[in-house]
Amino acid sequence: MSEKPLLLDSDRRFRNIVIESVGKEVFNCYQCSKCSAGCPVAFAMDLLPHQVIRSVLFGKKEKVLSSSTIWICASCETCTTRCPNEIDIAQVMDVLRQLQYESGCLTPQPKIPILHSTFLNSIKKTGRVHELSMIRNFSIKSGDLKEKLKKGTWKNDMKLAVKMFLRGKLKLFPHVSKGVKDVRTLFNQAQEHKKT
Ligand code: SF4
Ligand code: SF4
């Protein structure tokens, strides 16, 4: 009788993508939980950082990519600093966010990936963040604008925007950074790297 494989092909592929991106150190995880104990936002996560690493090693793609944890992670790198095995858990979270974004899996935090992409698009366009257009695009794509128009709460946002504008904290038009070409090259290189 043939033995059931430990990991299905798709699970193995998922695990390998993560390991190739962050390094083989991930295999050294012995589940000491030091990463989770130091994480400042662990209280809000549905999977703790050490559980994410364990799930990655077991190729649990759906479980990991549909968890709120990867979008709640604030990339503070406390976990990475605390890990006795030099596993870059913060980078694992980063790779998982990208995989989740590309796979289109459902997430309990659907607005965070939208914020993530509007932020990156803003940087790609001008080389720096233009808050006003970023918030406008986010509000439209996430459905926030529709909701606020319905409830009438958009007026509060307008009042705040005017205050910020008067204090010089909000620019009407984007300022294009001198290094915008270099920034775009970085984006293109990252895109090319993903294809290889
Ligand atoms: S601190 Fe490192 S070794 Fe310990 S559970 Fe987290 S990832 Fe694994
Ligand atoms: S990088 Fe993310 S997972 Fe790691 S400690 Fe910070 S918030 Fe927690």
Q: Is residue 4 part of a domain?
A: no
| Helix 89-103 vs helix 9-22: crossing angle, to nearest 10 | 130
Ligand 2 site, residue 96, Cβ cutoff 6 A: no
- 32: containing domain: 9-103
27 and 76 part of one domain: yes
Ligand 1 site, residue 52, Cβ cutoff 6 A: no
Which pLDDT band holds residue 195 (cuts at 50, 70, 90)? low
CA distances from 157 to 67, 120, 132, 173 (A): 30, 23, 11, 18
Ligand 2 site, residue 76, Cβ cutoff 6 A: yes
150 and 65 part of one domain: no
Give the C-alpha separation, 121 to 136, whole Å.
Answer: 13
Q: Is residue 183 part of a domain?
A: yes
Report residue 147 CA to chain centroid gap.
24
For 121-147, the pLDDT digits (tens) are 999 999 999 999 999 999 999 999 999
The predicted pLDDT at position 1 comes to 45
Which ligand number lies closest to the CA of residue 85?
Answer: 1
Q: Which residue's CA is minimally distant from atom 3 of ligand 1?
A: 29
Residues 6+ positions from 192 with CB-CB distance below 8 Å:
none
Q: Is residue 58 part of a domain?
A: yes
Q: Where are the beta strands (DSSP E) in the chain?
A: none
94 and 172 part of one domain: no
The predicted pLDDT at position 7 comes to 56
Which tokens in the block code for residue 165? Answer: 């504008």
Which tokens in the block code for residue 178? Answer: 């001198």
66 and 135 part of one domain: no
Residues 6+ positions from 180 with CB-CB distance below 8 Å:
126, 127
